Each structure stands twice: as structure tokens, then as C-alpha cells.
Structure 1
Amino acid sequence: MTENTTKRQLVIIGGAEDKEDDCHILREFVRRSGSTKANIVIMTAATELPREVGENYIRIFERLGAEDVRIIDTETRDDASSSTALGAIAKATGIFFTGGDQARITSILKGTEIDTAIHKRFSEGVVVAGTSAGAAVMPDKMIMEGDSQTNPRIEIVEMGPGLGFLPGVVIDQHFSQRGRLGRLISALIQEPAVLGFGIDENTAMVVTDSQIEVIGEGSVTIVDESDATYNNMGEILKDEPLAICGAKLHILPHGYKFDLNTRQPILNDNSIPNADVSVPVASISS
């Protein structure tokens, strides 16, 4: 496959994906990674139980038919230059980041030889996936922690550097289940990004180059502030309510798509919604 035709693929999962029944999302990851020829590497940097979590995913991916599955356990930054780990990444067709604490992932991996190797393989077409904390690290700036089920304020969310597989956006996970719209908006206004993605549990956004497809039982909520007419970020203290006007809100369930270049949803019949079939939210304010 030439450089011009290589597809960059991400499977970004909102957490709590089905691991026992049909495993629809994990099945899609294995399929995109090569099906029965898949060579999968499980990155356990996020979790304090790397062996337990990693072996559970080994069991799942092997049951789905992956040819080779192995764990890369990086407990310290020194582990992130392991020749064994780098060799496994060089042969991988799919790389999977588990859940846990996203700050652990970046503190251990960002800027290391493994980080460089994974980005190189991603640019060559290897599928990169992550669930929960593993989803949070996909942008260049990520939500490190923050309060749920509250109205938008600067103080409710802490941002930090992500791994940069999908730059220029903000991603939150466990979205509807934990009431995280307020913190997604707070993060989006603080960062130089125009799109915020909130992914429900057992739901994923599958990114192929510039197009996103939603799979799973929940929805992906997209906040688009590209045409926002106002926010009060420069006028308030950190514990005061944020306001944003003129933003758009899209809620996309399984099968719907979204174009990152045009910032437009794509309906099941591949049409783009217009005023006759969709009503954008005119404003979101606290």
C-alpha cells in the first residue's frame, strides 16, 4: 500500500464495551486489524493491574480469532525503550490501549521510543484503538480529570497533553452515563479546538482518515463551536458559569457518520442533513 492510499484508522471507545457476548466493537477492531491474521499489541500503561487487564483482552481477542496477541506492560518510562516492546510494535497490525488513568499513559509513554514507534505504525496504516482512558489520550490535548453532572465552569476540568492521534478535538468518554456534557463544553472552550466528542459506554467512533462512523449501543455527542457567536471565557473567574452561543449539537447513534473536514453529519442514506431534516441547537448556555 502506498503512502497516498494508506488509511489512518482509530477505534475510540467510550468505555465499558461488551467483552462477553457478541463483542461488536472489539470484533470490529480485530476485523480492521487483519481478522484471523491480526497481530495485536495490548498497551496496559493506564492500569495498575496490567497482567489481569491484559490477559482478559488476550482471551477476548484470541476468541475472536486474532492470530497473535501480546501485552506490552510499561510501568515506567525506562520500559518504554524495551527492544522487545519495540519489536512487537513493529510487527503489530493493531494496537489497543486499555482503560485506567489517562495521565499514566502520557506520563509513561509520551515522547518515548514507543510513542514514536506507535505513531510511525499508525501513519503506515496500523489500527490504533483505545477504551475509556485509552480513548481520552487520542487528541493532542486531553481531559485528565474533571467533575461530572454539573454545569460548565473552567474549574471543573483539568487538561493536559494527549498522544495526538486525532489533533484539534476534545474527547470525553462514559459520556451519557456520567452526565459529562458540562465538562466537555468546559474543556472545548479552554482549548483551541472546534469539535468536542462525547462517547457513550459500549459505543465507539471509528475514524478512517477524515470520516467517523458510530458503532455500538449508545451515541456519540458532537459539540461544534466552529460557528459559535459568543462565549464569556475572557470575562469570568474560574468558578463562574461558562456561556456559549451559536454552537451546534449533533447526537449520532449506531450507523451514522460524520465528516471531520466539512464538520457535517452524514445520514444512513449518505445524505447530508439540511434544514428540512435536522434542527441544529442554536445555543448552549449555562
Structure 2
Amino acid sequence: MSENQTKGQLVIIGGAEEKNGDAPILREFVRRAGGVQAHIVIMTAATELPREAGEKYIEVFRRLGASEVRIIDTETREDASSSTALEAVNKATGIFFTGGDQARITSTIKDTELDAAIHKRYSEGAVVAGTSAGAAVMPDKMIVEGDSQTNPRLEIVEMGPGLGFLPGVVIDQHFSERGRLGRLISALVQEPVVLGFGIDENTAMVVSQGQIEVIGEGSVTIVDESEGTYNNLNQILRDEPLAVCGVKLHILPHGHKFDLKTRQPILDNKTSISGRSVT
């Protein structure tokens, strides 16, 4: 997997993040986007209630001290060429995609002037965040929809183009809460990639300079198929069980890190499963 050459950071949230009280994940997004100097735009394309969703995040980000917060709603692809929207993105230090339906994001934004502007700001150093559906669109190939709480089969997941901020991986959200390991594995085996990330609710993975740091109350589950020894992908029909052997599984809670280039957890001085210090 080639390392994404960019100055920006990603805050990819598994959904249902805390918005009241300390709001640690949204607080970290604002901090990384510039703190009290942050200029944040809220992308509401995913939701059918853009005003309600946008105003809730405006309230949170203003309470946390952001200098400016604006909503960009793209009901149609024509809206993604709006000079007002483009101007807001060009000034933004933080860009936040709300939850909803990820297909709505790609249908109205992907390959538009607004899409190009967001990628440009990301490459220049802006922080791009997304929760739930906003998390799903981060790879170049995303999970559009699929069944949860079921064994891996090709039919349980539908894939489609994402926005490509974190290429070469598969991401799923609401992960532990909705039992989506089978769905993630089904998506991972179908795509020519080797890393799948499942993010729990009120949990995020922050991507910066080729490393991931987990923040929040849950965990990020990482499935690494790079050394997989067997799968029966070419032998089964869509409704038949998928066999996968030899994959690696990492489960990383708050404060743990992962290196995207080496595909290994960064353990520092933490303790191994045997109780011996890892060197």
C-alpha cells in the first residue's frame, strides 16, 4: 500500500460520538484543526435532515471554541459547484462529514469541483473528519451497504467508489455494536487490498503521517490479509460461505497506534500477551 503523501490528517469516527459534555473525539478534531483559530465546514450531504444535523454540530464546535463554523449542504451535484461552498472549503482548516447514507455523499460530491477543493485543502494540511457514513467514504472503495451479524458471504456487502482520502483499505463503522466482522471480511476479500478497519461507536482512528492513533471509548479492529494463506473466493457462489485462513487480527483501544506502512501495531513499551515486555 503506497503511503498517502499529504500534510493533512483524518479523524475517522465509528459513529455515535459524544456531543455533550467533554465530547473528546470532536474536541480532538477541533484541536487538530486549529483550536480557537479553527475554521470548520460541516458537510451534510449524507443526511436527509441537513439543517438539524448541521446545527447540532455548529453548537458543539462553537462550544469547543472554533473561530468559524459553516454548513455546506449539497442536495444536488450542481450545489457542489457553488462559489459560496468552494470559498468556504478553501478557507477551512477542518472539514467534517456527518452521518446518514454514504451513497448520498458520493452521488452529490465525488468528482465535482467541491471534491477537488476538499482534497486540495487536505493535501495542504486541513483536517478531514467523518462520522458513520462520513467515515465510510474515506477509502477509495467503500462499503455502500450490507448485512450485519452474519457469517462472511459475498452477497452480504455491496461496494462502491469512495472519496479516496485513505486509499487501499476498507473501513466499516458501528463495528462491535452491530457485529460487522463478517461484513468487513467479505468486503476485504473482494477488494484488492489487505487491510480492513472496523471502528466502534464513540471511537475514532486519527490518521497522520502514515500512522493511526485510536481515541475514544471503544476499539478499532484491524484485519490484515497480507499474509493470508487461503480463501475460497474463486470457488463459491455469492450466497455460499466464505473461507479465509491465515489472516491477522489486531484490536486496538484508546491510545494505541498502528503503522500503515509496516502494517504493524506500534507497541512502544506496552506488554505482550505473554506478559513479557515487548522490545
**Structure 1 match to 2:178:** 178
Stretches of structure 2 lacking an aligned partner (at least 5 in a row): none
* 3-state secondary structure, aligned to 1:178: coil
Listed one character per residue, the Cα deviations across residues 82-105 of structure 1 (whole Å, up to 9, x for unaligned) are: 000000000000000000000000
* 3-state secondary structure, aligned to 1:139: coil
**Structure 1 match to 2:145:** 145
Distance 2:81 2:202 in 1: 33
* 3-state secondary structure, aligned to 1:166: coil
Cα offset, 1:267, TM superposition: 2.0
Listed one character per residue, the Cα deviations across residues 107-160 of structure 1 (whole Å, up to 9, x for unaligned) are: 000000000000000000100000000000000000000000000000000000
* 3-state secondary structure, aligned to 1:160: strand
Aligned partners of 2:6 and 2:122 also within 8 Å: no
Aligned partners of 1:265 and 1:272 also within 8 Å: no
Listed one character per residue, the Cα deviations across residues 238-258 of structure 1 (whole Å, up to 9, x for unaligned) are: 000001111000000000000
**Structure 2 match to 1:221:** 221
Distance 1:273 1:140, change over 3 A: farther
Distance 1:139 1:44 in 2: 19
Distance 1:59 1:249, change over 3 A: same
Aligned partners of 1:41 and 1:96 also within 8 Å: yes
Aligned partners of 1:40 and 1:68 also within 8 Å: yes
Aligned partners of 1:174 and 1:199 also within 8 Å: yes
Stretches of structure 1 lacking an aligned partner (at least 5 in a row): 279-286
**Structure 1 match to 2:99:** 99
Cα offset, 1:21, TM superposition: 1.5
The one-letter code sitting in structure 1 at the alignment partner of 2:227 is: D
Distance 1:36 1:204, change over 3 A: same
**Structure 1 match to 2:81:** 81
* 3-state secondary structure, aligned to 2:172: strand
Distance 1:263 1:276 in 2: 23
Distance 1:229 1:266, change over 3 A: same
* 3-state secondary structure, aligned to 1:128: strand
Cα offset, 1:8, TM superposition: 2.4
**Structure 2 match to 1:189:** 189
Distance 1:275 1:72, change over 3 A: same
Distance 2:143 2:126 in 1: 25
Distance 2:152 2:100 in 1: 25
The one-letter code sitting in structure 2 at the alignment partner of 1:248 is: K
In the superposition, the TM-score normalised over structure 1's length comes to: 0.93
In the superposition, the TM-score normalised over structure 2's length comes to: 0.95
Distance 1:277 1:220 in 2: 24
Over the matched positions of the two proteins, sequence identity in percent amounts to 79
Cα offset, 1:276, TM superposition: 7.4
The one-letter code sitting in structure 1 at the alignment partner of 2:181 is: L
Distance 2:15 2:250 in 1: 20
Let me know the Cα RMSD of the aligned residues: 1.6
* 3-state secondary structure, aligned to 1:58: helix
* 3-state secondary structure, aligned to 2:183: helix
**Structure 1 match to 2:34:** 34
Distance 2:233 2:271 in 1: 32
Aligned partners of 2:43 and 2:97 also within 8 Å: yes
Matches within 5 A, 1:128-277: 128-267=128-267, 269=269
Aligned partners of 1:264 and 1:272 also within 8 Å: no
Distance 1:38 1:44 in 2: 19
Distance 1:100 1:90 in 2: 25
**Structure 2 match to 1:282:** none
Cα offset, 1:272, TM superposition: 9.8
Aligned partners of 1:175 and 1:198 also within 8 Å: yes
Aligned length: 273
* 3-state secondary structure, aligned to 2:142: strand
